[in-house]
Amino acid sequence: MADPKILIVGGGGREHALAWKIARDSSRPAVFCAPGNAGTAQVAGNVPIQASDPDGLVAWARENRPDLTVIGPEAPLCAGLSDRLEAEGLRVFGPGRDGARLEGSKAFAKEIMASAGVPSARAARFTRAEEAMAYVRRQPGRLVVKADGLAAGKGVTVCDTAAEAAAAVEEALIRRAFGEAGLEVLVEERLEGEEVSVLALTDGKQIELLASAQDHKRVGDGDTGPNTGGMGAYSPAPILDEKQWRTVRSEVFERTLSELTRRGIVYRGVLYAGLMLTADGPKVLEFNCRFGDPETQAILPRWEGDILPALLACAEGNLERVRLAWTPEACVCVVMAAGGYPGRYDADLPISGLEEASALEGVVVFHAGTRLTGGRVMTAGGRVLGVTARGANLREARDRAYGAVERIRFDRAQFRRDIGARGLQR
């Protein structure tokens, strides 16, 4: 397919990374990003339609007939945007509403895992606070409390004590801090080990695993402070050995896909497994129905060759024709966030040093929460930039990424200084 027209839905760091990679394809695609950000504007045409506006997106697609639509965020996937676009006769990379429930409902994901025999944490579901708190008091170990629905990455509370778990239950079921997303909660045993992310492409039948990555969820160094959408990532994750890799493929991805198929759900797109490597082997913490953020920023620079053939193959159901290749280089992404994130933060702050940082060897700066105002790049979100670098090894990639971070300035910028440190310790 020569000169294909590609629409990417979303406006964060993941979508900038996708636009950057797709724009480099040998087929010379025309890339559009809705709504995009100041970074996507450098490699794509920004379309002023929000990812939360399915009617506007469908109308644009109906008029412009993209050869492929790649849906970045989870919310439009869970709302059924893929189904609507496919009903227009358009190719879509991203599961339909039924498949996206793996992320949209943690209770549904647990049901799928239990039916499929996918290793995961022991859990119980509650809609009544008093029942959940009674369950919490009976548990001998540490717990995790999860809002069932989408809560912008903020619905999971990792608890050290029963009192913290009870407070998390109260926050969701009594104070309704997460709205409808928290009308049901899961109370899970807290798994111990190290986290790793594995993403797979699937056309509903075949599976191609992407390079491994390790995310850093807590806002502070040493995994301290509240959970965030992710403060950085690196790829590959050396903690995942070949035996565990085979286990993850067979016991997580193949079993899950088989169970979805048994239920009549054709899942096409990315299936993301957040894993805990426990003493008993890999166990699933969560499923996501889309590319991870910031894992995508650390994975895509390592993808050798064109990406569009694989995405199109998923949409068309012929992934068996595709084989993925990865550079042996390492890649590190350091998120620069607004001061106060993941709580309240200021926006519309000018950013300087982007050109200087981007000129460094192996570095690309992915924009997340940015906008152009009068020709100047300004902050526009909690996670502002994903400063990413490749290197011959993890140490070189990390040094380059932090060297670029030091050249970028905006008021009250915060970032972790230990992204990739665990990988180096190995």
One CATH from 3.40.50.20, 3.90.230.10, 3.40.50.300, 3.90.870.30 for 5-97:
3.40.50.20
- Output the pLDDT for position 26: 96
Q: What is the DSSP string of 33-46?
A: EEE--TTGGGTSEE
- Output the pLDDT for position 426: 78
For the ranges 16-25, 114-123, 153-162, the lowest mean pLDDT is seen at 153-162
pLDDT tens digit sequence for 118-152? 999 999 999 999 999 999 999 999 999 999 998 87
pLDDT tens digit sequence for 331-374? 999 999 999 999 999 999 999 999 999 999 999 999 999 999 99
- Is the pLDDT at 226 greater than 90, yes or no? no
Query: CA-based angle 167:169:174, to the nearest 5?
Result: 95
**Run of H or E including 195:** strand 194-202
- CATH number for the domain running over 330-425: 3.90.600.10
Q: What percent of the chain has pLDDT over 70?
A: 100
- Is the pLDDT at 85 greater than 90, yes or no? yes
Nearest-CA neighbor of 374 among 348, 413, 399? 348
Whether the Cβ atoms of residue 6 and residue 308 lie closer than 8 Å to each other: yes
Superfamily of domain 192-321: ATP-grasp fold, B domain (3.30.470.20)
pLDDT tens digit sequence for 182-207? 999 999 999 999 999 999 999 999 99
Mean pLDDT of 71-82: 97
Write down the domain spans for the chain.
5-97, 128-183, 192-321, 330-425
- Is the pLDDT at 302 greater than 80, yes or no? yes
For residue 301 the two structure tokens come to: 């620079």
- Output the pLDDT for position 252: 98
Whether the Cβ atoms of residue 71 and residue 77 lie closer than 8 Å to each other: yes
- Output the pLDDT for position 249: 97
Query: Could you tell me the pTM of the whole model?
Result: 0.95
Whether the Cβ atoms of residue 106 and residue 78 lie closer than 8 Å to each other: no
- Output the pLDDT for position 186: 94
Q: What is the mean pLDDT of the chain?
A: 95
For residue 192 the two structure tokens come to: 């111990």
Distance, CA of 23 to CA of 8 (rounded, Å): 11
Mean pLDDT of 27-47: 98
- Output the pLDDT for position 125: 95
Q: Which residue has the tokens 């400063």?
A: 387
Report the DSSP beta bridge partners of residue 198: 273
Superfamily of domain 128-183: ATP-grasp fold, A domain (3.30.1490.20)
- Output the pLDDT for position 154: 74
5-97 shares its CATH topology with 192-321 = no
